[in-house]
Amino acid sequence: MAIRFVRVVVIWLLVLATLWVTEPYLSALWFSASAPRTVTPRGSLADSEQATIALFKNVSPSVVHVFARAAPTDSLFSDEGVVQSGSGIIWDAAGHVITNNHVINGTAQIGVRLTSGEFVAARVVGTAPNYDLAVLQLERPTSPLRPIAVGRSADLQVGQSAFAIGNPYGLEQTLTSGIVSALRRRLPMTAAQEVKGMIQTDAAINPGNSGGPLLDSSGRLIGVNSVIISGSGASAGIGFAIPVDIVNRVAAQLIRTGHVPEPGIGVVAAKQDEATSLGIDGVVIVRTLPDSPAAKAGLEGATADGVIRDVITGANGKPIHSMSELASTLDDVGVGNQVSLTVDRGGQTRSVKVTVGDISQLDQG
């Protein structure tokens, strides 16, 4: 009896072992999808997905790819020299395109690829380096142009949705999304000029997105993507866009005159760290430009032997600590209007009225 029980147990163990060894082969034989799988119906897209799809379809024809080369050649895509690229926005039916100044700065040949695939030569209408903006004119495009819908940036709120369309790393017509992360950021564009009210977003922005649109959930332009902050140079969730209210004003002036006045008083200032090392809190005037508003108002730069004469410590009753703060105040005052400066000379403080001028028209020598 015991021997029979042992035999039964051994047989069952052999059967189980055989099944364990052959199971993968049997599964592959019986369950493999050797024919195309049946598609599972998915139902309707979510409302938010449909809205995003519609946004991209409506706006993407207004976004172009901008190419620029320092030296002109027979073909913009020849092997001669480096071609830099970015994004652009169709601004009006006349063929004006908005992009960043740094996308085309220092270049001699510019081309634009439309969403239709057409490649069109372009020329510079005007630039505003202090705002990192430029306006291009397309040369005889044959494809229909769709100007972008323009919104407002003054009423934006932190937390609302934001969408970016551009050409990161040359990958055309790329859509990313996020939110408005912060408002009223101040970022330097030049050594003495910063743009106020910059929009911060976590929508992925990478090299090549520069000059492309930042959009609200209605597909309206709320900013022009310009800057990222990243240790690697790639998106780190901190991107910045120039507010559309500034873009609207600057673009109109560039199209009308090719020039945007640069409010200033015509002073060359010492670097802020140099002033700090001397224990001075304010704008140290190194020299005044010839025939500038500052020179006409009697402000003086340092003497030939390095003796500091005038230091600007306030403007219109507010303290001034740096040249960028002074430039921001002068931008608010506007060309042709007066600003009241608080000036320190040799320990004596006085108030000086200066008429703000367009310093881009002054001799910088």
Which residues fall within 8 angstroms of residue 233, CB to CB, at 6 or more apart? 207
Q: Cβ(282)–Cβ(343) under 8 Å?
A: no
Check 210, 226, 292, 324 and give the catalytic one: 210
Check 62, 87, 96, 132 and give the catalytic one: 132
Angle ∠(305,309,315) on CA atoms, nearest 5: 150
Asked about 259 being catalytic, the answer comes back as no
Asked about 351 being catalytic, the answer comes back as no
Check 87, 102, 226, 322 and give the catalytic one: 102
The rounded distance, in Å, linking the Cα atoms of 310 and 292 is 15
Asked about 65 being catalytic, the answer comes back as no
What value does the CA radius of gyration of the chain take, rounded to a whole number of Å?
A: 31
The rounded distance, in Å, linking the Cα atoms of 69 and 324 is 31
Alpha helices in the chain (DSSP H): 2-31, 47-59, 101-104, 244-257, 272-277, 293-296, 323-333
Residue the block writes with tokens 């000036």: 343
Strands (E), the chain: 63-69, 83-90, 96-99, 109-113, 119-128, 133-138, 161-166, 174-190, 193-201, 213-215, 221-228, 239-243, 263-264, 267-269, 283-288, 310-315, 318-319, 338-345, 348-355, 357-358
- Bridge partner residues of 112 (DSSP): 66, 120
Q: Cβ(121)–Cβ(110) under 8 Å?
A: yes
Which residues fall within 8 angstroms of residue 39, CB to CB, at 6 or more apart? none
Active-site residue list = 102, 132, 210
